[in-house]
Amino acid sequence: MIRPLARYQLLIDAIIAGAFLALALLFIWMWSGNPGSSTTSGAEVEVAVGIVLTIVYSGALAIRRLSPALALLVCWIAAVTQMLFLLPPIAANFAIFAVIYATAAYGSRLVFWAGFGSSIVGAATISTYLLLPPVSQATDGRTDFSPSLLMTVLFLFLAAAFAFLLSWTVGALVRVGHRARENRQAQEQAEADAAAEQERARIARDMHDVVAHSLAVVIAQADGARYAAAANPGAATEALSTISTTARSALSDVRMLLTQLRHRESEGPQPTLTDLEAVYAQVRAAGADLTIDVDPAPRSTEPAALQLAIYRIIQEALTNALRHGDGAAVTVHQRWLDDEVQLDVRNRISAAPAAPTASRGHGIIGMRERAQLVGGRLSADREANEFVVRAWLPRREDT
């Protein structure tokens, strides 16, 4: 019965209903004459009932989106009351068209068809109601259903049915548009979820390889330290230091791995920061004017997970630059601070083509997943005539 609406929607509907009420009351005032003129008691009753009905119709107009079913019921009650008092059509009757529209646009399936039926029944009721005065006013005591009167009633029914059904049809088209937009959003969300799941599978494979490598180093160093402990204590101390550093990095990778679903995929070698040179060479060979700025240089002991994230983000950003750019310069900036790494990849894009945006594209989803897995964040969006990918990744051994 009650649809959830935002506050601004309720405010807009209230303002529209208030303006409609003021205008409809103005018409009643003009119809009844100046307030100072003498009127009969019957006319005063008609004016009073008209004012009450105008308020009721305005209330139905105010709640047409909040509760189309209740608004339709209120309109029917007001219309029956109006006919019982034998009142002529009033300006407030125009609210019925908005309510019929709302039943088709926002109502449930039952209310949707109730609005359609009300359009037909309402048109027939109006035609019959307006037929009564000429019939009851026949002077010779006979009910005169002349052909001209019947044709008038028929045309009146067709006109009323056309007006009501036009409002209902417009509402039905709006309903279809809303459903199509919801279906499109659901499809895009499903595609994004599928892309994210595929990227998680690849990340899980990468993390598995990184952890396996780290544990192999730990085992080798531990075995070496055990055999060298007696003959060379210094070598044992150095081995233990290596084990400590490698174990911290492996622990970071294990924590991230536990957050993902495991998928069986083929293993592969894991890229590091040094492998970026091969990526840069491929981009330059493709014809791009690539500029690299690293300030200052990273340590050789950076965690494997951080190196992998930086590699994948830069690789995907450069791939997008080649795919969507216009062949102009591409710049890659790495800023290695004490507590984080700041990445900035930007390239010039054309004005018209479909450049990647933050809301579509599996590559951008993958870059964002990479950044989040190491505790960082990433933004990718168009700025003027450039597409800019920015990432902030924490630089901590135990991240």
Report DSSP letters for 148-195, one per residue. Answer: HHHHHHHHHHHHHHHHHHHHHHHHHHHHHHHHHHHHHHHHHHHHHHHH
Q: What are phi and psi of 297, to 5 degrees?
A: -75, 140
Residue 321: band (very low, low, confident or very high) from pLDDT cuts 50, 70, 90: confident
pLDDT per position as a tens digit, 102-161: 999 999 999 999 999 999 999 999 888 877 655 444 444 555 556 777 787 788 889 999
Distance CA 200, CA 208 (A): 12
Between the alpha carbon of residue 343 and those of residues 281, 301, 313, 337, 389, the distances in Å are: 19, 19, 9, 11, 8
Q: What are phi and psi of 356, to 5 degrees?
A: -65, 145
- Give the pLDDT of residue 238: 72
Inter-residue contact 60 to 78 (CB < 8 Å): yes
**pLDDT at 313 exceeding the cut of 70:** yes
| Ranges 47-56, 208-217, 224-233, 355-364: which has the least confidence | 355-364
More confident residue, 311 or 193: 311
- Give the pLDDT of residue 131: 72
| Global pTM value | 0.53
| Ranges 40-54, 263-277, 385-399: which has the least confidence | 263-277
| Ranges 73-77, 116-120, 189-193: which has the least confidence | 189-193
If you average pLDDT over each of 228-232, 290-294, 318-322, which comes out highest?
A: 290-294
Distance CA 198, CA 358 (A): 18
- Give the pLDDT of residue 68: 94
**pLDDT at 388 exceeding the cut of 80:** yes
- Give the pLDDT of residue 381: 87
Residue 361: band (very low, low, confident or very high) from pLDDT cuts 50, 70, 90: low
Give the percent of the chain with pLDDT over 90. Answer: 33
pLDDT per position as a tens digit, 78-106: 999 999 988 888 899 999 999 999 999 99
Residue 253: band (very low, low, confident or very high) from pLDDT cuts 50, 70, 90: low
More confident residue, 208 or 273: 273
- Give the pLDDT of residue 172: 94
- Give the pLDDT of residue 347: 87
State the DSSP string of 32-50: H--TTS---HHHHHHHHHH
pLDDT per position as a tens digit, 255-284: 655 555 544 444 445 788 888 888 888 777
**pLDDT at 323 exceeding the cut of 90:** no
Distance CA 14, CA 157 (A): 32
More confident residue, 192 or 79: 79
Inter-residue contact 243 to 190 (CB < 8 Å): no
**pLDDT at 231 exceeding the cut of 80:** no
Q: Please, what's the b/e burial string for 343-360 (b: 16 or more CB within 10 A of its CB; e: otherwise)?
A: bebbbbbeeeeebbeeee
Average pLDDT of the chain is: 79
| Ranges 106-110, 213-217, 311-315: which has the least confidence | 213-217
Distance CA 380, CA 377 (A): 10
Give the percent of the chain with pLDDT over 70. Answer: 71
Classify domain 273-394 by CATH architecture. Answer: 2-Layer Sandwich (3.30)
Report CA 395 to chain centroid distance, whole Å: 34
Residue 390: band (very low, low, confident or very high) from pLDDT cuts 50, 70, 90: very high
So where are the chain's domains?
7-187, 195-258, 273-394
